[in-house]
Amino acid sequence: MTTDPFTLATPLIAPSVLSADFAKLGPEIVEVLAGGGDFLHLDVMDGHFVPNISFGPPIIKAVRRSTTAFLDAHLMISDPVRYARAMVEAGVDGLSFHAEVVPDVAAAASQIRSAGCRRVGIVVNPATPAEAVFPALDHVDYVLVMSVVPGFSGQKFMPEVLGKAATIKRRLRADQRLEMDGGVNADTARACRDAGTDWFVVASAIFDKPDRAAATAAIRGRLGG
């Protein structure tokens, strides 16, 4: 049974499989979830909105077969509405789309929900102001603030997004969540938490460590909860 992370107390840690060894993706997923990850973050990239290409529905279907965990797909693609149904059919539970690629953020959120997505999120790049998500706030379950320029794992955290994150958090209802993604590690997590972050996406600071459970625990230890 998939546990909906909206029913769990925060903070939560979401390992991002972008830094996993794709040759053994199933065991990698099992390891990071057994090692303390709360749900999985899946970075879908199209080589157009971002300069990298990662994976799409066929791989997500394989991930779905490997775990019952909540699958949070982060769509770094130019046409998220077009692919929403395929993502849902592949087995994702949450889908987030970038504010930068749609003409009407509220309409896009509604269309993605109509495609059958249970949980819908909106994402903003570091250079995109908080105001870009405001029209969508009545239509989304979560807001993802990028703390790196999207495209690759292993980049350096951008502290200048913390003020924006706090601004957005103040506008969220108690049943909505703020997620942070990019450069989150044991050194940067506390500042993210202080800005109101509920969900912490972590790729390299978990997958690149020899002991993933210890790495996850080290981050959680900084979050105070």
**All residues at 6 or more sequence positions from 83 whose CB lies less than 8 Å from its CB, including other chains:** 44, 56, 57, 75, 77
Taking the complex as a whole, the smallest distance from the CB of residue 204 to ligand DX5 amounts, in Å, to 3
Instruction: Name the residue nearer to Zn ion (CB basis): 88 or 184.
Output: 184
Active-site residue, selected from the candidate residues 38, 43, 141, 198: 43
Active site residue 194: no
Active site residue 138: no
Q: Does residue 66 bind ligand DX5 (CB under 6 A)?
A: no
Taking the complex as a whole, the smallest distance from the CB of residue 199 to ligand DX5 amounts, in Å, to 11
Q: With contact defined as beta carbons under 8 Å apart, do 184 and 205 qualify?
A: yes
Distance CA 178, CA 198 (A): 5
**Residues 156-185, interacting with ligand DX5 (CB under 6 A):** 181-184
Q: Which does 203 bind (CB under 5 to 8 A by kind): ligand DX5, Zn ion, none?
A: ligand DX5
Q: DSSP for 89-139?
A: HHT-SEEEEEGGG-S-HHHHHHHHHHTT-SEEEEEE-TTS-GGGGGGGTTT
- For 152, other C-beta atoms within 10 Å of its C-beta total 18
Binding mask 24-53 for ligand DX5 (x = CB under 6 A): -----------------x-x----------
Active-site residue, selected from the candidate residues 38, 72, 141, 181: 181
* Residues found in the chain: 225
Site residues, Zn ion (CB under 5 A):
43, 74, 181
3-state helix, strand, coil in the chain (%, to 5): 40, 20, 40
Closest-by-Cβ residue to Zn ion is 74
> What positions carry a catalytic annotation?
43, 181
Q: What are the residues binding ligand DX5 (CB under 6 A)?
A: 16, 18-19, 41, 43, 74, 148, 150-155, 181-184, 201-205
